[in-house]
Amino acid sequence: MKRLFLLRHGQAQAYASTDAQRNLTDHGRLEVNSTIEQVLETLPLLDEVWVSPYCRAQQTWEQASSVMTGQSLKAPSVVVSQPAITPAGDIGAIMALLEISFNQVGLNNILLVTHQPFVGELLEHVCGLEAGRYFLGTAHMAAIDIPVTEQHVAMVAAGMGSLRWLKQPLI
């Protein structure tokens, strides 16, 4: 079994010069802390982290990472800025990239730090859930099990994932 984690950014400023430049608020940082602290005991070592290039997503990862390393969790070996997971992200492109990544030897756990509506649509697509039903609030995090065949091939396709859990900040 492989696992895909989805984390929506924390609360961000309402306005900035561009949407991409909106920063996390202090409340958004607290939201991220709350969610990450809830999942620390069950969160496995992350092999890769893909982060939207938008400021609020980058800052969400920085905040989450500081909570994780503060609890002695080893940092992921690969952290990349992924332009395909912005609010208007391309689900088809990400599904193809996830399939490639999950089928690399030793790669089992990937975290995406992203935005609505993309994150909700990706969750619904991967798990075969009713469209429009899953809106992830700020700093909500989901874990999705990705099945693997007997030949060790990750089954990254529409409807093949199983939602393991969905967490929200407790503040």
Residue 109 dihedral angles phi and psi, to the nearest 5°: -135, 120
∠ CA 162-167-44, nearest 5°, is 70
Between the CA of residue 24 and those of 11, 21, 36, 40, 86, what are the distances in Å?
A: 6, 10, 16, 22, 16
Q: Is residue 106 scored above 90 in pLDDT?
A: no
Measured in residues, the chain has a length of 171
Q: Is residue 105 scored above 90 in pLDDT?
A: no
Mean of the per-residue pLDDT values of the chain: 95
Q: Can you read off the two tokens belonging to residue 155?
A: 């089954």
Question: What are the pLDDT digits (tens) for 159-168?
Answer: 999 999 999 9
The mean pLDDT of 144-154, rounded to a whole number, is 96
Question: What are the pLDDT digits (tens) for 44-63?
Answer: 889 999 999 999 999 999 99
- Tell me the residue type at 107: L
